[in-house]
Amino acid sequence: MDYERYISDGNLEKVLLGFATPEEESEYELYLDIFPEIQTEKDEVERKLERLAFKEAAQPPAHLKTAIMQQVAQEAGTPIVTGTWYAKRKNIHVENVAPPPHQMRVHIGWKILLIALLAMIATSILASVIFFAMTIR
């Protein structure tokens, strides 16, 4: 059986959609090793299926994300700050507030890394001074 007939019979689609029997899946693996063209066709079929799935997908309601985030925050025990949910819960008006333009925010990980780097530099300078002081004697 050549790969063109294998593809045209719909065997590739059966395997990709999960409708193939174990024998057909092992046959697919065998043909995949023999014919690299099947891998190319597999990639193309997967792209087509993905495009079709996204094209026909139903959009979730707009309020769903807020409801899910509220539930996650309640289960985690941490408040989530959004303009609508937080304001309704606390009866305050919350606006999107950006940091002042003259301030820069840096993640805590970078701060720790900088402190560790400066500590290593200071330690190596101190070790060098002690080493040279010991060698001079």
Give the pLDDT confidence of 14-57 residue by residue, as tens digits. Answer: 888 888 899 988 888 888 888 888 888 889 988 988 888 888 88
In this predicted structure, the answer to whether residue 120 has a pLDDT above a threshold of 90 is: yes
The mean pLDDT of the chain is: 81
Give the pLDDT confidence of 105-116 residue by residue, as tens digits. Answer: 788 999 999 999
Residue 94: Cβ within 10 Å count: 14
Question: Half-sphere exposure of residue 22, counting CA atoms within 13 Å on the CB side?
Answer: 0
Is residue 83 within 8 A of residue 96, CB to CB? The reply is yes
Gyration radius of the chain's alpha carbons: 31
Question: 């139903």: which residue's tokens?
Answer: 58
Quickly list DSSP for 83-128: TTHHHHHHT------PPPTT-----HHHHHHHHHHHHHHHHHHHHH
